[in-house]
Amino acid sequence: MTKIAFVTAGGSKTEVPAQDGDSLMQVALEHGIEEITAECGGAMMCSTCHVYIDDAWFAKVGAAPEEELDLLGFASCEVRDNSRLSCQVKVSSELDGMVVHLPESQV
């Protein structure tokens, strides 16, 4: 099964198994990653599922499309080139081992 590692702003790392086809946001909620609030449940309305994709994986995931980038304007932490809304990133075997960094806060 695909594995994803979430790393908090403080540096602590949690590796969890992820179902292919699920969004990163769903994976995080399922495994109690508290730094992802995901208030709108993936409806692309809240911007509280903000993550930074690790540089080594960013090319595989790709940059946020325009609509997503607009919504990221609501994010409470700095938006960087590798910012994504985790509800919009689908897990696949290609992403096995990916490292995802969590922002300090979501609201």
Residue 91 binds to ligand FES (criterion: CB under 6 A): no
Cα separation, 85 vs 50, in Å, equals 5
- Indicate whether 43 belongs to the interface with other proteins (CB under 8 A): yes
* Residue 107 touches which of ligand FES, other proteins, none (Cβ within 5-8 Å per kind): other proteins
Q: How far is the CB of 29 from ligand FES (least distance, A)?
A: 9
- The residue (of 3 and 90) whose beta carbon lies closer to other proteins is 90
The binder of ligand FES chosen from 75, 85, 89, 102 (CB under 6 A): 85
